[in-house]
Structure 1
Amino acid sequence: MQDLLALDGVDLASVAAREGTPLHLYSATAIRQRIDGLQSALQGVDATICYAVKANGNHAILQLMAKSGVGADIVSAGELRRALRAGIAPSKIVFSGVGKREDEIAQALEAGIARFNVESRAELDLLQRLAHARGVVAHAAVRINPDVDAGTHAKISTGKSENKFGVAVAEARQWFTAQAQWPAVRLDGLHMHIGSQILELEPIRRALQRLARFWRELALAGHAIASIDVGGGLGVRYRQGERAIDAADYVAAIRDALAGFDGRIVLEPGRYLVAEAGLLLARVLHAKQGSERTFLVVDAAMNDLLRPSLYDAWHDIVRVGDDNGRTTTTYDVVGPVCETGDTFAVARGLPRCEAGDLLAILATGAYGASMASTYNSRPLAAEVLVEHGRYAVVRRRQTLDEMLAGEQAATHWETA
């Protein structure tokens, strides 16, 4: 791996010295390149890209999406607020998720979002009641569960019959047959999403084929389908040797499966657009020689990047700077949190490191800061957007006072 000195023209050692560590950095140029590549592949297709906000909901990232013509795939009222605040038009927002609360659906109806991806009969009934009460008609898509194994980690697989997401085709068929029961809901869309970090096209092709068969069946039965949401899930390169699905190949699979469909196609990429654009800078605190292993203790922790602890996920880690003359040493790279699971890498070969050295944990632009917490009373790290040799702090480092601001002594008691 080549020496790492800069990201998007910004010197990493300099920005770390000025802004401190741990520090999340995102390359605006890299994100735009991913967006442009997907939009170019979609030329000639009536399609809307709705970025999965859960991947990284930072305001600056969402503004970048809005300026690039990208919409939002949301799963909460908080993400709705973020998307609208960043300038994403309601007409480009779809609402997914198995547990939409009544107040969240109400807020989305008030905002006039494009579509609800409905995942249960209970949700469909609730959407009908709330839309009727407001005198509006909600556009909805049925999220079907195609029972396809995405070939990814079990905790991010969402398209198998045993998963909590979506409904079986048989149940969806019943909804379309009985849709007169929900006059305030226009049931004219289909949706699927089989999982995340998918690196092979074959599971996507199988799921698309099952989705397409159901669309054609509905069309023959007289049910007009205006929108087909193919979900997201495109994987990214987390380690050397991995290869992401090419955008052109992905879109070709969609074109092939949905040939003849004259409605709107919706795509929900998240990780694919932002993961490889980001990295997490961490400062080495010290090396610790154990009886069996050598630990490299850094100032970043599982509260800053949960993926390795939660999914046993691999992230390439590099020492920032010139590695000439440094021998390779095998380390377990760990953080200071009081959990054995606070481990970024096990038996990882790195140039010999010492206190004060800077490490970059790569491909953290998705599900890094967005999954962060204040566990062990560690304030949230700062986030920085870099572009062509300049940078802007897009989330300042949380202070201890800010972290504690919502807490108070039990001085006012009430009975319920």
Structure 2
Amino acid sequence: MHHFTYRDGALHCEDVPLAAIAAAVGTPVYVYSTATLTRHWTVFTGALKDAGLDASVHFATKANGNMAVLRTLADLGAGADVVSGGELFAAMHAGIPASRIVFSGVGKTRDELAYALDQGVFQINVESEPELRLLDAVAREKGVQAPIAIRVNPDVEAGTHEKITTGKLDNKFGIAWTQAHALYRLAADLPGIAVKAIAMHIGSQIADLAPFAAAFRRMRDLLAILRADGIEIERLDIGGGLGVPYDREGDPTPMPPADYAKVIRQELGDLGCKLLLEPGRLITANAGVLLTKVIYRKEGATRTFVIVDAGMNDLVRPAMYDAFHAIAPVREPAAGAATELVDVVGPICESSDIFAKQRSLPRLEADDLLVLRTAGAYGAAMSNSYNGRPLVPEVLVNGDQYAVVRRRPTWEELVTLESLAPWQG
């Protein structure tokens, strides 16, 4: 469910017309709904509670790291799952205490590990033996023990896009589950390490519960082996990955959180471990849209192009993942209005700067406003300034109020971190 609906012929975010935001802030611009963020968080955490699970939820900040979005979730009791020192800093700056933060990621540096220990993060998810040994050394230098999980790769096919699957043996993430026991034995003997948990995460945008169940069973088996070896495990970090609807015809319908919670309960609920979950896309994807304006209507030799002012630098998912985003005009089409097949493209000097090919839309002209739906996850978070384009502003709506929570940089600010070499005068 989301809170982007037509009222009196105009698309609104909650009680705010999107055309009003475009007029005041300019386009392209990301717009987020507080009501949708709150609902998604409440439905997900409520499903876990209704299933009787002892669980804490840590939002995957890589999906959307906007400070106001993080504060909204922090106020709802969210923890955070971070994958860099910068994300750790941002999460704490937004009001999420380090005691509710899990530090994941396959390539943590010495400085990042030291920073995480100094801040007192809840858990560090280790992904290799070299990382484990480095963390042990850093922790001993500081006279502390690092609370860790080892991320186990269960070799489960998640049935999702190859670029967002993370639980196969040929993925870079985690330790092969067949090697995990030996690494846990090493960890238990290291003085700077406090073994707390087993971690896993098998991918993103997963629409079938079977891969989760298979991965959970692998985790259950490993837990039994570790306990038999005298290695106590307090908690199980089962990651995220539950899919969301992008409204493409023929796509499988993602499972609701209540069904997901039932599988967790069935596979892991009797083990006496606290559970950690790290949803990202599920919370923010449908809470955001990318609002853009038509620059030109271009009649090509074989097709019609609708050229908008948003580009692949603003929303890279279609170019990077062949991702589908539903597109809707801000002005509601009349009932029975004719449609046409068009390519919706951006201004970037790349052939891959395409949001939709041969999409059926009402006739569009210059200055018409459109939204790309389900853009609240991995949209602004992955944006960049390619082609000398300033980062897109972000707006948070709450009822009939809205605020710019990231402004659009100026052209001058695009070059503020750069300088000429001394010999260039």
Q: C-alpha displacement at 1:339, in angstroms? A: 0.3
Match of 2:286 in 1: 276
Q: Is this contact kept in 1: 2:160–2:203, CA < 8 A?
A: yes
Match of 2:15 in 1: 9
Match of 1:130 in 2: 138
Q: Which has the higher mean CA deviation after the structures are superposed, 370-379 or 326-335?
A: 326-335
Give 5+ residue unaligned stretches, structure 1: none
Match of 1:259 in 2: 269
Q: Give the counterpart of 1:210 among 202, 218, 224.
A: 218
Give 5+ residue unaligned stretches, structure 2: none
Q: Is this contact kept in 2: 1:22–1:299, CA < 8 A?
A: yes
Q: C-alpha displacement at 1:269, in angstroms? A: 0.3
Q: Give the counterpart of 2:181 among 159, 173, 178.
A: 173
Q: Is this contact kept in 2: 1:229–1:267, CA < 8 A?
A: yes
Q: Is this contact kept in 2: 1:4–1:318, CA < 8 A?
A: no
Q: C-alpha displacement at 1:326, in angstroms? A: 4.1
Alignment of 1:400-411 (within 5 A): 400-411=411-422
1:40 correspondence with 2:51: no
Q: Give the counterpart of 2:318 among 299, 303, 308.
A: 308
Q: Which has the higher mean CA deviation after the structures are superposed, 148-157 or 1-10?
A: 1-10
Distance 2:114 2:415 in 1: 31
Q: C-alpha displacement at 1:218, in angstroms? A: 1.6
1:295 correspondence with 2:305: yes
Match of 1:55 in 2: 63
Match of 2:87 in 1: 79
Q: Which has the higher mean CA deviation after the structures are superposed, 52-61 or 197-206?
A: 197-206
Alignment of 1:16-31 (within 5 A): 16-31=22-37
Match of 1:398 in 2: 409
Q: 1:380 to 1:179 in 2, by over 3 A?
A: closer
Q: Which has the higher mean CA deviation after the structures are superposed, 260-269 or 141-150?
A: 260-269
Cα deviations by residue, 1:309-347 (Å, 9 ceiling, x for unpaired):
001100000111131174201110000000010000000
Distance 2:186 2:29 in 1: 53
Match of 1:182 in 2: 190
Q: Is this contact kept in 2: 1:332–1:345, CA < 8 A?
A: yes
2:25 partner letter: E
1:387 correspondence with 2:395: no
1:364 correspondence with 2:358: no
Q: 1:81 to 1:340 in 2, by over 3 A?
A: same
1:149 correspondence with 2:157: yes
Match of 2:327 in 1: 317
Q: C-alpha displacement at 1:165, in angstroms? A: 0.4
Identity across aligned pairs (percent)? 47
Q: Is this contact kept in 2: 1:282–1:298, CA < 8 A?
A: yes
For 1:117, what is the secondary structure of its paired residue? strand
Q: Give the counterpart of 1:219 among 221, 224, 227.
A: 227
Q: 1:179 to 1:104 in 2, by over 3 A?
A: closer
Distance 1:165 1:309 in 2: 23
Distance 1:318 1:249 in 2: 30
Q: C-alpha displacement at 1:180, in angstroms? A: 4.4
Q: TM-score, normalised by structure 2?
A: 0.95
Q: TM-score, normalised by structure 1?
A: 0.97
2:154 partner letter: P
Distance 2:356 2:20 in 1: 25
For 1:190, what is the secondary structure of its paired residue? strand
1:285 partner letter: I
Q: C-alpha displacement at 1:387, in angstroms? A: 1.4
For 2:422, what is the secondary structure of its paired residue? coil
Distance 1:364 1:178 in 2: 43
Q: Is this contact kept in 1: 2:30–2:394, CA < 8 A?
A: yes
Q: Is this contact kept in 2: 1:54–1:75, CA < 8 A?
A: yes
Cα deviations by residue, 1:86-139 (Å, 9 ceiling, x for unpaired):
110111101111100110011000000011110000000000000000000111
Cα deviations by residue, 1:245-271 (Å, 9 ceiling, x for unpaired):
211111111111113222220000000
Q: 1:180 to 1:149 in 2, by over 3 A?
A: closer
Q: Is this contact kept in 2: 1:188–1:223, CA < 8 A?
A: no
Q: Is this contact kept in 2: 1:275–1:366, CA < 8 A?
A: yes
Match of 2:202 in 1: 194
Cα deviations by residue, 1:285-323 (Å, 9 ceiling, x for unpaired):
111111111110000000100000001100000111131
Q: Is this contact kept in 2: 1:147–1:159, CA < 8 A?
A: yes
For 1:54, what is the secondary structure of its paired residue? coil
1:377 partner letter: G
Report the aligned-residue RMSD.
1.4
For 1:144, what is the secondary structure of its paired residue? strand
Q: Is this contact kept in 1: 2:181–2:225, CA < 8 A?
A: no
Q: C-alpha displacement at 1:178, in angstroms? A: 3.0
Distance 1:398 1:239 in 2: 32
Q: Is this contact kept in 1: 2:188–2:194, CA < 8 A?
A: no
Q: Is this contact kept in 2: 1:189–1:229, CA < 8 A?
A: yes
